Amino acid sequence: MTIEFENPKPVEQARFLLQTVADNMMRPVSREMDENEHAIPFGYVEFMNTAMKAMGSGSAGSLAPSEGKNSDDPTRAKRPSIAYQLLANQLEMLAWGDVGMYLITPGGGLGAAAVQAAGSPEQREKFLARFNGEKPTFAAMCMTEPQAGSDTSAIRTRAVLDENTREWVITGEKIFVTAGDKSFNDHPEFGKGFIVVWASIDPSAGRAGMRSFVIEAGTPGVKVTKLESKMGIRVSDTASISLDGARVPFENILGSPTVERTTTGFKGAMATFDATRPLVAATGVGVARAALEEVKKMLADQGVTIHYGLPRQKLSSIEKDVIEMEVMVKSAWLMVMKAVWMADNKQPNALESSMSKVKSGDIVTKVTQKAVEILGPLGYDREFLLEKWFRDAKITDIYEGTGQINRLVVARQILGYSGSELR
């Protein structure tokens, strides 16, 4: 083991490749997609579906962690995996391109990640194969409910087993489902996706009774009732999904169908957060870096040079701001890298994972806010992308656990407190 800070070749190659994607497939349509909220950038989606296969990832593995795959791969047995590091870099670069478009990259996203993390080998095979198909295919995670946000224990969606048909009958309301429309509704351009729905199979058991269910696109009783109009990441469809007695095959439950009075199942979901938080953080860093680079470029175009190395007393206000932004972006990225490196090295990273999310949510907000301010009348104008990134950025500190929830997680880890000791 050693302390070092250099990307291995595959990571550099992936960054180079995705930089090209960002430059050519994302940035040129960013503004148009933002202005036409519910339009779909088919060009990007189809390109990525092909490109990811060319990159040897192709399925959920590309944009969701796939530890299984790596540990199965004998060639990788001897050196530590870099799968998460690779992924974080890919996501950072895509988000640098357009974080909204990144969110609708085909491959299954969080839905596939859930199957990957909590499904049996049979389930993985059954549900994940589709992401290797010709058509771009989506899957979505349905967790949040109108009255249950950060407090997932308040989830009201119920799954009841119909003993006669051996089907789960699921009823409830889900909101904030990323890619919910593309995953569930019929789009001729896309393959058949699914949604993963969190529901209780035994409300009296609290969190121990929580399970997730794979629900195939088009299942009767399930309906996308609304696509949200959002501040930013407008190209990403955020759906409300209503389930009214939706019938789901018994074997679509992820995890055990019986309830033990432990919260293992739920902790599984929380462990997914440990894996996904640094990845979300990576996307925040991508947006922040985009804004920082654009500010420097626009300032340079105006003849403004940033002098580094000076005492603060000799800096201009803009120089001080830009240097602080650079510190923020750089340190947030290092925190992401540490968290994913730990994941790759099978080290528990609940603390570092949440820390990276706290940091990223914080800095992407500050950096984009400062970027718009520095550019004055130009920063605020939709002629440039800075104002869009300001809007896109804010979601980083909200989804996958708000900054507040992640501070709680960090504090509990630091203090050695349980959830009941520090509420």
Partner 1 sequence: MYGFTPTEEQKMLIDAVARFSKSDLRTAAHAAEEHKNLAQRLVNKGWELGLLQASTPDIYGGFGERSSVTGVLAAEELGFGDLAGAIAIMTPGLFVLPILLAGNEQQKTNYIPQVIEGSWRPFTSALIEPSFDFDPNALKTTAKKVDNGFVLNGVKTYVPFANQAEAMVVYAALDGVTKGFIVSKNITGMEVSDRIKLMSLNALPMYRVTFKDVKVPETSLLEGDFEPVLAGMRVTNAALAVGVARAAFEYACGYAKERDAFGVKIAQKQAIAFMLAEMGVEIESTRLLTWEAAWKLDMAKEDAAHDAYLATTSASDMVMSVTDRAVQILGGHGYIRDHPVEMWMRNGRGFATFTGLAIV
Q: Please report whether residue 216 would count as binding its own copies according to CB under 8 A.
A: no
**Contacts to its own copies from residues 393-422, by CB under 8 A:** none
Coil, strand, or helix at residue 285?
A: helix
How is residue 64 written in tokens?
């969701």
How many residues bind its own copies, per CB under 8 A?
A: 13
Q: How far is the CB of 321 from its own copies (least distance, A)?
A: 9
* Stretch near its own copies under the rule CB under 8 A, chosen from 30-38, 96-104, 269-277, 369-377: 369-377
The residue range among 129-137, 336-344, 371-379, 414-422 that interacts with its own copies, by the rule CB under 8 A, is 371-379
Q: Report, in Å, the least distance between residue 271 CB and partner 1.
A: 20
Instruction: Indicate whether 188 belongs to the interface with its own copies (CB under 8 A).
Output: no
- Residue 156 CB coordination number (10 Å): 14
Which of partner 1, its own copies, none sits in contact with 316, Cβ below 5 to 8 A by type? its own copies
Q: Is 400 a catalytic residue?
A: yes
| Contact (Cβ atoms closer than 8 angstroms) between residue 136 and residue 189 | yes
Rounded Cα–Cα distance for residues 58 and 111 (Å): 15
Which of 92, 173, 319, 400 is an active site residue? 400
Q: How many Cβ atoms sit within 10 Å of the Cβ of residue 239?
A: 25
Q: How far apart are CA 127 and CA 123, in angstroms?
A: 6
Q: How far apart are CA 241 and CA 170, in angstroms?
A: 12
Binding mask 299-328 for partner 1 (x = CB under 8 A): x--x-----xxxxxxx--------xx-xx-
382 binds its own copies (CB under 8 A): no
Phi, psi of 180 (to 5 degrees): -60, -40
Minimum distance from CB of 304 to partner 1 (Å)?
8
The residues, ordered by sequence, that sit 6+ positions from 163 with a Cβ below 8 Å of its Cβ are none
Q: Does residue 145 interact with its own copies by CB under 8 A? A: no
Instruction: Report in angstroms how near the CB of residue 151 gets to its own copies at its nearest.
Output: 18
Instruction: Please choose, out of 47-55, 141-149, 308-316, 328-336, the segment that lies near its own copies by the rule CB under 8 A.
Output: 308-316
Residue 378 interacts with its own copies (CB under 8 A): yes or no: no
Taking CA atoms, 334 is separated from 17, 269, 339, 384, in Å, by 22, 25, 9, 28
Give the Cα separation of 351 and 289 in Å (integer): 24
- Residue 376 binds its own copies (CB under 8 A): yes
Residue 244 CB, nearest approach to its own copies (Å): 37
- Does 331 participate in binding its own copies (rule CB under 8 A)? no
CA-closest candidate to residue 128, choices 120, 146, 116, 110 = 116
Which of 149, 188, 198, 208: binder of partner 1 (CB under 8 A)? 149
C-alpha dist (Å) from residue 4 to 334, 337, 338, 341: 11, 11, 11, 11
Hey, which residues are catalytic here?
400
Binding site for its own copies (CB under 8 A): 311-320, 373-374, 376
